[in-house]
Amino acid sequence: MTESLITTSQTSPTENTTGTTCTVGRLITVNEGWKIVEVAATWEGTPYRQVGAGSTKGLMGDCSGTTNKIYQEAGFPYPYKRTANFVDYIQSSHRFREIFPTRGEAMQAGDVLFWSGHMAIYAPFPSNHPKRNTGVIHRGKAVSNDFYTAFNDRPGARPYAPYNIATFRGDPYRVFRYFVLPGEAHCEQ
């Protein structure tokens, strides 16, 4: 792993990074993020079942298992982690970087959306995309789909599919972007 002394960072506040060492690598590109979304689309219709690492396309899957398998299939692997352990894994592995939309950092396709007890894949479908509008109504207005997820095994549960962030949960979420480390495929540094 290559390390260097940094003076600024695009992914962390300056007061947290100035004069510290960091892992040299790069965040995934927008095109690579869309590759993750394309793979997520192939999981549509997979019934929800809490099986973690045993998630299998078309058969069953939960939020952490489908996210992990989709990333692997798209060429951005990381070891399976339960949702409860995902943030700890990020902090120790440097595999993902947190993105802060409230500070003006733009989210991009393929980012992991993380709530307490849940995770999903961000998919900001363009206006002409067939997955963007599927008739979801929120507070009397049609809303667009903007992420993929698998959730809940309660009666009436919906399979893995695109959904809308605003209608999903009211609590805040965190955003994480995959980080390609030196020496891995697609890392030019």
> Where do the domains of the chain lie, and which CATH numbers do they carry?
30-179 (3.90.1720.10)
Tell me the sheet residues that pair with 162. 148
In this prediction, residue 51 carries a pLDDT of: 94
Tell me the sheet residues that pair with 62. none
Per-residue pLDDT tens digits for 150-161: 877 666 677 898
Closest CA to 181 of 108, 97, 67: 97
In this prediction, residue 9 carries a pLDDT of: 56
Say yes or no to pLDDT of 14 above 90. Answer: no
Predicted confidence band of residue 1 (pLDDT cuts 50, 70, 90)? very low
Indicate whether this model's pTM tops 0.75.
yes
**pLDDT-wise least confident of 35-39, 50-54, 185-189:** 185-189
